[in-house]
Structure 1
Amino acid sequence: MINFRYHIVSLMAVFLALSIGIVLGVTFGAPVNAGIATQAEADRKQVQDLRAELDRRNALDEYRDAWATRAGQQLTDGELAGTRVGLVAMPDAQAGVLDALGTAVTDAGGTLTSTTRINANAYDPTKVDELNSALEPYATPLGLDAAMSPGTRFGLALGWALGDKDIPDSDAGIDEIRRSLTRASLVDIDDEGVGQAQLLVVVTAKSEPRPTAETLVAHVEADVALKKHVVGVVLAGPNSDNIEGTDVFTARNESAAVELLSTVDVADLPSGVSTVVLAGKEQLLGRQGHYGGLAKADNPLPALPVR
């Protein structure tokens, strides 16, 4: 699709080519020269008008983002007070989105427990043996069985490593599972040393590069399994430009995920960051929803106030 900015660049390229031709002294007849000059002037005027329109749109974008950021801070103030929150970055998750959500969590009164970066190895079908070897010593406490998919097995283990729900009092098993997942190059966990998470925010990736359908299903299977060991899970998708081929879209088309998880498809926008916080609060209250502006969103944001 040709967007507005691409249109401007194309026109500028045409105008530049015409200008270079004239400067280099390309010889045409008088009527042709006059026509080129007239067209060049018209193109110059159009480019100036389009550039002014682009500046106007950019200014409005900046205004909307600034407004949404300020309003969102007021809207989410205190919503996560007393809540321990872990961030989980999927492969190819954007650092900027991860940082924005981390800031939003603490601004809303939450305590950030850990930031976990999942490596692509965790979902690589050619590395299932490595995954199974890492989890085999803990199969009994984790409740793993051979009928479970690799995604589900991984999600249960990661939930145990990060969450505080249905975990034995001793944290020895938590540390051991974390080390096993890390040694197998499945995850990198940056722990803040403030306890286990009650809420996990899973920061997903944009639509490109697009994973296979099987990989997307494995992602969502793991997300669903995470819920066993935390009160709430929110998938935060930076998908305002395209939702096809994303974790959020896949989750919205899988019945177990629809019923258990919350999703936000615009986590790359300031308004979406605030929506993730509100969706997290809703999860803590035992409810779920799918928010944003794209396919299969229930509403732009949860019903306010979130109580």
Structure 2
Amino acid sequence: MIDFRYHVVSLASVLIALAVGIVLGAGPLKEGISDSLNQQVTSLRAEKADLRSELEAAQSTVKVQENFADAQLSRMVAGRLADRSITLVALPGTADALLSDTEDTLGAAGATLIGPIDLPQAWTDPSEAAASTRSQLAAQLAPTLGLAEDASLDAVLGTVLLAKLPATPDDQTNSISEIARQAAWNTLADAGLVSGVLPTDRGSLVVVLSPATAATTATTSTDTAAPYAAQAKLVAALDDASDGSVIVGQVDPAAADSSSLIAAARDASGVRQRVSTVDNAESAVGQASTVGALVEQLAGRSGQYGLAAGARSAFAAG
């Protein structure tokens, strides 16, 4: 057993050391410590001021560049999509500003716009009941549109909305009965999967507009990611039915990889190799990239553009 005197000596040593520290801190070392702390605070304040000045300069430069891009956008895209018909498909949550800006840009590029077609959440609802309903509708409608019996409802929508440009004047590959087309639309509308009036014409290109995605560090669950994967399959089907497709949206570069349609499309090699994406479409650069990506699609190429994960280039020149 440790002697009681040992505890007394140990406690006394601690108290003596504490007393010495207090004496030194209040006496000989006080001035040195205080001077050192004051110097550090002064240095940190100067560094903060320098960083703030650098940030303000950078923000000013970016603002000037954005203003220049906005002013030149119409000139940059003018005529690049002349005589092309483009169907706009808006997914739930798409910002009105993104839709109107995209319409203005594509119009300035000379395109004829069809839509927008607003698709509800039900189209990609991952629940078993919703999936079963879509499967039954697909089996019912596919034969009436000349599609295989096992065609998906995504393929049905693609056939109703889109048509590839004919290779020759006599090419009837995309010919379907307008009566069957209208009937299919009515059936989809009755099921709550589309709304509004069926467009008279079918586009040869498609732009799919997706909602903005904010930064998050949380891990996306399987249930949350499922609708995005389903949306990516939808876009792939629309691409099959058209001469090209581009997904546009605004994705924060710090967003989790699986938190958006654009990320899901980039993660799926079968989609990524055919469909183009633009993840900064709310900016003038992104709008110009949308036109450039469509031009590339017409040439049989695809690309991933912007600043978020999976982008291969900041800008699509076309």
Shorter-chain TM-score bucket reads: 0.7 to 0.9
The TM-score with structure 2 as length reference comes to 0.71
For the residue of structure 1 that corresponds to 2:195, the secondary structure is strand
Asked if the contact 2:246/2:293 (under 8 Å) is kept, the reply is: yes
Structure-2 change in CA distance of 1:190 and 1:86 (3 Å): farther
1:67 equivalent in structure 2: 68
**1:279 and 2:293 matched:** yes
Provide the residue aligned with 1:131 in structure 2. Answer: 134
TM, length-normalised to structure 1? 0.73
Q: 2:315, 2:149 → 1: CA distance?
A: 38
**Structure 1 runs (4+) greater than 4 angstroms displaced:** 48-62, 189-192, 208-211
Q: Give the aligned residue type for 1:186.
A: L
Aligned to 1:155: 154
> 1:56: how far off?
6.8
- What is the letter of the counterpart of residue 122 of structure 1? W
Query: Map of 1:251-266 to 2, 5 A cutoff?
Result: 251-266=265-280
- The separation in 1 between residues aligned to 2:54 and 2:64, in whole angstroms, is 15
Matched, 1:199 2:205: yes
| Aligned counterpart, 1:37 | none
Alignment match, 1:215: 227
Alignment equivalent of 2:239, drawn from 209, 227, 239:
227
CA contact 1:114–1:189 (8 Å) conserved in 2: no
| Equivalent position of 1:95 in the other structure | 96
**Which sits farther off after the overlay, 166-175 or 259-268?**
166-175
Identity of aligned residues (%): 25
Higher mean alpha-carbon deviation, 117-126 vs 181-190, is at 181-190
Pick the structure with greater CA Rg. 2
Number of equivalent positions: 257
**Counterparts of 2:246 and 2:105 in 1: how far apart (Å)?**
14
Corresponding residue for residue 33 of structure 2: none
Question: Residue type of the partner of 2:194?
Answer: V
Q: Which residue is equivalent to 2:147?
A: 143
The corresponding residue for 2:183 is: 176
- Which segments of 5 or more consecutive residues in structure 1 lack a partner in the other structure? 1-47
Displacement after TM superposition at 1:55 (Å): 7.6
Once the 2 structures are TM-superposed, how far is the Cα of residue 124 of structure 1 from its aligned partner? Answer: 1.0
CA offsets 1:217-249 (integer angstroms, 9 cap, x no match):
111111101112110100102114536311111
Q: Deviations over 1:178-227 (max 9, x none)?
A: 2222221112355564x210110000122359771221111111110111
Aligned pair in 2 of structure 1 residues 154, 189: CA closer, same or farther (>3 Å)? farther
Q: Which amino acid aligns with 1:249?
A: A
SS in 2 for 1:125: coil
> What is the aligned-residue RMSD (CA, Å)?
3.0
